[in-house]
Amino acid sequence: MRSARTLGLWLVFAVGCASGNGATVFTLPDVVNEPGADTASVGFGDSGAGSDSTGVTDVGISDVPVDTVDLSDSVSTDGAGTDASGDATATPDVPATITSCFGHCGLVLETNPCHCGPTCKADGNCCSDYEVSCKCQSDAACDDGNPCTDDTCASGYCKQFPIFGKTCCNTDAQCSGGDACNVAKCLEGTCSLQATNCNDGLACTNDVCDPNTGACSNKLVAGQCFIDGACHKAGDYDPNSAGCASCDPLQSSTGWSPKPGMCIIDGGCYKSGDVNPMSSCAVCDTTKSTTAWTGKSGTCFIDGQCYNAKASNPQNSACELCDPAASSKAWSPVAGKCNIGGVCYDSGAVDPSAPDCRSCDPTKNKSDFTLKAGSCFIGGSCYTAGAVQAGSNSCGACDATKATTAWTFKPAGSACDDGSLCTTGEKCDGTGLCKGSPIANCCMADADCANYKFKAGEEPGPCDKVVCLKGAGICDKQAIALCCVSGVCCDVGAKSVMPINTVCNNSMKVGVQYQCNGQAVEQRPLYYGCTGASPSKCSSDTPGYGDWSPTGKVCDPSQNCVLVSPDVTPNCVNK
C-alpha cells in the first residue's frame, strides 16, 4: 500500500540504467517534507550496499553535490543510517522492495526504485542486480502505502497487484453504479459519479435529465413565455407594441399575444373596429382575426387592395371576380368557368395533359379538372375501366368503383399468368404481382443455363456453348463458329481459327515478293496461308507472308530504286 508521504512521488526510469560505477540509478522528483532535496539518484547493487539482520540488502546514502542525493551506502532498509547532513535517524523514503510491473515494466516507477519483476526483467526493462538489492521475507515488508494494491511477498520478492472495485480503478470500465444521468468515471484512480449537465441557462425552464436515457429536457415553467430568446412571465408587455401585446401563456408561450379587443397587424397595434390606413374596406375585427385585416361585409380585400362585390380580377378578368360570399380574401371563379393553376377554362374544356379523361366541370369543381366517370387517372395517365396495370399480368387494373387514382389489385390467390414458361401455379399476391413456382431445369435466357447438368455423354465440348432455346425453355449446346482446338491454322490458346494470310507451314514456300526500301531492295518469302475459315486448311491461293529481308542489291545514290511488280526484282534507274 502506498504511504501518504510518498503518494506524490514518481520515479522515472533513467536513460541507461547503470551509473558509472556499475550501480543502477533512477531519478526522483522532490521528496515530500525533505528540505534541500530537489532531486535524488537511487543506487543499489554497488560496493557500499550490505545486508541487515533480516537478510534484506541495505541501500545507503553518501554526500553528493547540492540538489542531488545518492542513496548508496550509509542508510539501511531497516531504518538506521546516516544521511548527507549527518542525521543518524534519517531513513530513505523508498522501501527496499520490488513492485510488480503492471502497466509500467520498469519505465515509470511509483514510490519504489525496485519497481521491477521477473516479467519485466525478461523484457529487458530491469536494472542489473535488482534481485540482490530488492528482497523480502514477509508480506509486511512489501506494504507500498497504496490502498489500491494487494501487497504480497512471493518467492523472496514483493509483488503489488492492483485492486479494482467500487473505489479503486484504472479505467472507466472498472467503475460501476450510477445511471444514464450519473455516469461512473475513473478520476485519478478513484471511481466517482459524474452528473449530466442539463442546464440551458434559462431561468424559465425546468432542466431535467431522464435517468433511463440520459436525455435532457428543458420544459417551460407554467406561467412563463419564451419569446425572441428571452424569458418573460405572464403579464409582461411587449416593449415594441405600445402596450398592445403581452405574455399570455394561455394563448401562446412562444409569442406575444394581443390584449383582448386588440389586433397586432404588421407590427402595428389596433383596436377592434379600426380601419386599415391603406384600405378603407379592411378593419380590425378580433372576432375574425387578431393578426390580419378583415374585409368589410360585401367587399374583398385581396393583395392589400379593396374590391367591391363582382369586381373582376385585373389580371384575369374573364375568369375571376370578387365574391365575398365565397371568399373575401381571394379571387373567386366566374360562374361557368374553371380557374385551374391560374388559367381560365370554359366549361367542358379538356385537360391538356389528360384530354381523354379530365375536363372542366364548374358544377363539380371550379379549381381543378373533373375526372370522366368510369375512368382512372393514375401516375398522370388516363385509363379506361378494366385497363390492366403493365407488368402485373392482370393482378392490377383500373376499377373506378374502388379507386380512381390508384390501381385496384385482385385478392391474393386469384389466378393469373406471368407469361413465363418456367413457372407454374401462378397466383396474385395481393399487391399487384403475379407469382408462381419455378419449374426445374427450365430456362428463359442463356444465363439460366449456367449450371445446367447434361446427361452423361452429352456434355458440351470445348467448342460448344450452352444456350437456352427460346420458346421451349430448354437448355442445349450450340457449336461456336470458327472455334478449334487443333490444326495448323488453329490458335489453340484462343481456341479460334487463325486470321487469313497467317503462315500455316513455313516449309511450303510458293514464291517471293520484292520491295524498295529507299535505295535498297528487300524481299520476303510467300508460303501457303490460312484461309481464316478452317483450322486445318492451307492454300497457295491465300499466301502467308514472311518477314522482309535485304537482298544485297542497293542502287547507287544517283539512281532510284523502281518497283515494277512485287514479283519482279526492282530496277535501279538513273535520276
Instruction: Read off the pLDDT of residues 395-425 as tens digits, 9 standing for 90 and up.
Output: 999 999 999 999 999 999 999 988 888 899 9
- Has residue 515 got a pLDDT over 50? yes
Q: Does residue 243 sit within a domain?
A: no
Q: Does residue 80 sit within a domain?
A: yes
Name every residue whose Cβ is closer than 8 Å to that of residue 309 and which is 6 or more positions away in sequence: 298, 299, 300, 322, 323, 324
25 and 150 within one domain: yes
* 3-class DSSP state of 120: helix
73 and 35 within one domain: yes
Mean pLDDT across the chain, nearest whole number? 76
Q: Does residue 8 sit within a domain?
A: yes
Domain that holds residue 559: 504-574
- pLDDT higher at 493 or 119: 493
- Dihedral angle over CA of 123, 125, 128, 131, nearest 10: -70
Q: Does residue 496 sit within a domain?
A: no
Listing DSSP states for 554-569 in one string gives: E--TTEEEE-S-TTSP
The rounded distance, in Å, linking the Cα atoms of 207 and 314 is 57
∠ Cα 65 70 72 (to 5°): 140
Provide mean pLDDT across the span 494-500: 93
CA 438, 441, 442, 445 torsion: positive or negative?
Answer: positive
112 and 67 within one domain: yes
113 and 11 within one domain: yes
Q: What is the pLDDT of residue 117?
A: 53
Grid cell of 121 as nine digits = 526483467
132 and 42 within one domain: yes
The rounded distance, in Å, linking the Cα atoms of 129 and 105 is 16
Q: What is the pLDDT of residues 294-303, one digit of tens each?
A: 878 888 888 8
543 and 455 within one domain: no
The residue among 334, 362, 383 that closes a domain is: 334
**HSE on the CB side for 568, CA within 13 Å?**
8
- pLDDT higher at 33 or 165: 165
Q: What is the pLDDT of residue 197?
A: 92
549 and 473 within one domain: no
CB atoms within 10 A of CB 372: 19
Q: What is the pLDDT of residue 482?
A: 92
- Has residue 157 got a pLDDT over 80? no
- pLDDT higher at 467 or 65: 467
- Has residue 158 got a pLDDT over 80? no
Q: Does residue 309 sit within a domain?
A: yes
**Strand ranges for 230-326 from DSSP E:** 230-233, 245-248, 252-258, 262-265, 268-271, 282-283, 294-295, 299-302, 305-308, 320-323
Phi, psi of 133 (to 5 degrees): -85, -20
Direct distance between the N- and C-terminal alpha carbons of the chain, in angstroms, rounded to an integer: 114
100 and 16 within one domain: yes
464 and 515 within one domain: no
pLDDT level of residue 520 (50, 70, 90 thresholds)? very high
pLDDT level of residue 63 (50, 70, 90 thresholds)? very low
The rounded distance, in Å, linking the Cα atoms of 231 and 227 is 7
Q: What is the pLDDT of residue 121?
A: 57
The rounded distance, in Å, linking the Cα atoms of 484 and 486 is 6
118 and 49 within one domain: yes
pLDDT level of residue 186 (50, 70, 90 thresholds)? confident
The rounded distance, in Å, linking the Cα atoms of 116 and 271 is 89
pLDDT level of residue 349 (50, 70, 90 thresholds)? very high
Q: Which residue is associated with the grid cell 424559465?
A: 204
Name the burial class of residue 28, with classes exposed (0-12), middle (13-18) and buried (19+) by CB atoms within 10 angstroms of its CB: buried
**Number of structural domains the chain divides into:** 4
The residue among 432, 462, 479 that closes a domain is: 479
- Has residue 89 got a pLDDT over 90? no
Q: What are 135-138's contacts with CB under 8 Å, separation 24+?
A: 135/55, 135/56, 135/57, 135/96, 136/56, 136/97, 136/98, 137/54, 137/55, 137/56
- Has residue 28 got a pLDDT over 80? no
Q: Does residue 370 sit within a domain?
A: no
pLDDT level of residue 130 (50, 70, 90 thresholds)? low
> Are the C-beta atoms of residues 114 and 133 closer than 8 Å to each other?
yes
Does the pTM surpass 0.95? The reply is no
508 and 458 within one domain: no
Q: Does residue 499 sit within a domain?
A: no
Cα distances from 425 to residues 110, 175, 397, 435, 441, in angstroms, run 81, 63, 21, 8, 17
Q: List, in sequence order, every residue forming a beta bridge with 28; answer none if it has no partner.
A: 40
Q: What is the pLDDT of residues 323-348, one digit of tens each?
A: 988 888 888 888 888 888 878 899 99
**Strand ranges for 374-456 from DSSP E:** 376-378, 381-383, 396-399, 403-409, 423-428, 434-438
Q: What is the pLDDT of residue 27?
A: 28
**Strand ranges for 458-537 from DSSP E:** 464-469, 474-479, 490-491, 496-497, 503-517, 520-530
535 and 463 within one domain: no
Q: Does residue 178 sit within a domain?
A: no
The residue among 277, 299, 334 that closes a domain is: 334
